[in-house]
Amino acid sequence: MTMKLDASHKCIIKNWEAIDRMNACREQVDGYVREIAKRAFHGLKPKWQEHFQEDDGLARGAWIQLKPKAILQVKESSKYHFVIGIEEIKGQTILHPSADYFCKAYVYSVYGSDKNRQMLINNALHKTAKAPGGFVLGDLNAGGYVFEKQLPSLTCEEFEDPQPLESYFVEPMLVLIEWWKTNENVILDALLKTTSS
């Protein structure tokens, strides 16, 4: 059966060029957000470069994260996939978040595709390391989020000013970086014991 075009579709047809311009502007806004997020992470580099390796997913996605060097130095380190970061770095998620679509900071750990092992790791981390300040326990069934924090929406004025937008990314990452430094040994111990059991 052929789909019938309604008034919304006809509006798009009549305003195609304007919508193309709006879509191009939206992509530019997202580019602006990614640029500020990258600047924020690089500004924090003196705080994290000794302990982490950057994993920049901004070019191919909407996230940026840090991988602890202590875990990367472990034999078969792919078993212990563990990162801290921020995802859904987009204009829409920062200005107009919804219940299902928002910018968030996180601690993430997943053991390949082994869900039982992943649950053991997450449970061990919950027991050994307190949640970073302002973070809550992640949903153990949601694919490896150990701790997470939904970042608040910004006003248009805050969003347009690079300074508050940069702080938007800096503040949760500082909490996560310091959390890792404080808990590095107990986290490593939990990961190694769980994956060797």
CA 154, CA 84: separation in Å to the nearest integer? 22
In a domain, 1, yes or no: no
pLDDT tens, residue order, the chain (197 aa): 688 889 988 888 899 999 899 999 999 999 999 999 999 999 999 999 999 999 999 888 899 999 999 888 876 656 667 899 999 999 999 999 998 899 999 998 876 556 777 777 777 787 888 899 999 988 766 678 889 999 999 999 999 999 999 999 999 999 999 999 999 998 888 877 776 65
CA–CA distance, 197 with 193 (Å, rounded to integer): 6
Number of domains composing the chain: 1
Task: Write the DSSP string, 27-72.
Answer: HHHHHHHHHHHHHHHHHTHHHHTTTEEEEE-TTTSS-EEEEEHHHH
Do the domain assignments include residue 122?
A: yes
Q: What is the pTM of this model?
A: 0.88
Q: Which domain holds residue 48?
A: 8-196
What is the secondary structure of 149-196 as a DSSP string? EEPPP--HHHHHSHHHHHHHHHHHHHHHHHHHHHHHHHHHHHHHHHHH
The answer to whether residue 48 is domain-embedded is: yes
